[in-house]
Structure 1
């Protein structure tokens, strides 16, 4: 059994479970998204690989090092994956996929792969998801992102090296959109302004975190 949670990990699980907004990030992730297309140009799978910051990683060692040997072994890593998976599943594993303006529902991974990067002293999560229904990458823009609505966890996409596309359909390309805070604010305000005066704000809210998040897009044709 894991020990009494270290404050950072306990907060991570609590925030993930309750969706309480944080004033600023407490956990930092260097993410990598791997998109795989099928031979006919459909989205086959999306794989997330997340490298967590040293402080969060160290806190997890304290929490789950059941035998007290100062390292995480196979069963301890599996316990981490089970507990964290249960906390973030309800929020779509912080994974956002859109085909045009429509959200793409992704099948939850059966397990959350967890490993320890000894050289970097960082915890690594690795898991793949597939779409519930077929998504034709050639039919229009398809975007991919990781973000946390609460701002407790920050996903730092630096450049195109954080994305890999396997079997890119002919005539398609990948792009990165990393809006500045000002650009995100304008997009957010435009979304709010477009809501008719006699209509209510959607139940899921107008998410500024979505507007601010870095997104990768696969675009096809001459667009």
Structure 2
């Protein structure tokens, strides 16, 4: 049977697709990111996303199949499955670099959603395919490469570390200046970029990130 997507499901998927002339966000979320280490190695990254009221309301309207004005467990599961599938091609919007090298991520085992105070909440855990040693310079962040969804952190404390091994490391939250990023990357600001922002890695340059140096 052919899968039919509701408007909200389509919006979730569209948020992850390279769209013409859409190099600015249409969906907004605040995030919390916790980097967890054990025995001197990064073992997992925990993510919490809280979406804006407008997008959250559209999700409620489209996934509330029994029209009881709330999202029941089966409806929440459908949303979770849709987001996990849609973000899979984009590493779940989560990036980790190990001394400048991208770290490959495993498929999340834990992926849940909830709806509280009229906002959609997404909770999930990603793990490196291979545990990453706490050595050298590591970077952690969240970004949508298509620029359709803006996911950011309200305060620096929303990028946190937990577990053994961080005591000897220096931690710093980096919030890039968009004007400076654009000025330094003028050669990438082409018509092709604005027509297909997902075709470049520019989004990572704008993303708030946690840098850990050990």
TM-score w.r.t. the length of structure 2 is 0.85
Conserved 8 A contact 2:36-2:45: yes
Deviations, residues 16-48 of structure 1 (Å, cap 9, x unaligned): 2x322523211101010011100x210011011
Question: How many residue pairs are counted as aligned between the two chains?
Answer: 201
Structure 2 residue matching 1:128: 3-state secondary structure: strand
The 5-angstrom pairing of residues 1-223 of structure 1 reads 5-6=6-7, 9-16=9-16, 18-20=17-19, 22-38=22-38, 40-117=39-116, 120-137=117-134, 139-167=135-163, 169=165, 170-188=167-185, 206-220=200-214
Q: How many Å separate the matches in 1 of 2:157 and 2:41?
A: 22
Shift of 1:9: 4.8
Deviations, residues 54-96 of structure 1 (Å, cap 9, x unaligned): 1111101111101110100111100111112111111110011
Q: How many Å separate the matches in 1 of 2:52 and 2:9?
A: 12
Structure 2 residue matching 1:151: 3-state secondary structure: coil
Q: How many Å separate the matches in 2 of 1:131 and 1:88?
A: 16
Q: Residues 62 and 205 from structure 1, CA distance in 2 versus in 1: closer, same or farther, beyond 3 angstroms?
A: closer
Give the structure 2 partner of residue 197 of structure 1: none
Structure 2 residue matching 1:62: 3-state secondary structure: helix
Conserved 8 A contact 2:28-2:151: yes
Shift of 1:159: 2.6
Tell me how large the CA RMSD over aligned residues is: 2.2
Stretches of structure 2 that go unaligned for 5 or more consecutive residues are 189-197
Q: How many Å separate the matches in 1 of 2:5 and 2:96?
A: 35
TM-score w.r.t. the length of structure 1 is 0.82
Structure 2 residue matching 1:107: 3-state secondary structure: coil
Q: How many Å separate the matches in 1 of 2:100 and 2:11?
A: 33
Stretches of structure 1 that go unaligned for 5 or more consecutive residues are 193-203
Q: Residues 4 and 171 from structure 1, CA distance in 2 versus in 1: closer, same or farther, beyond 3 angstroms?
A: closer
Give the structure 1 partner of residue 193 of structure 2: none
Higher RCO structure, 1 or 2 (CA under 8 Å, sep 6+): 2
Deviations, residues 154-207 of structure 1 (Å, cap 9, x unaligned): 0122332211211252311321111111321244359x7xxxxxxxxxxx9642
Q: Which has the higher Rg, Structure 1 or Structure 2?
A: 1
The more displaced of 151-160 and 86-95 is 151-160
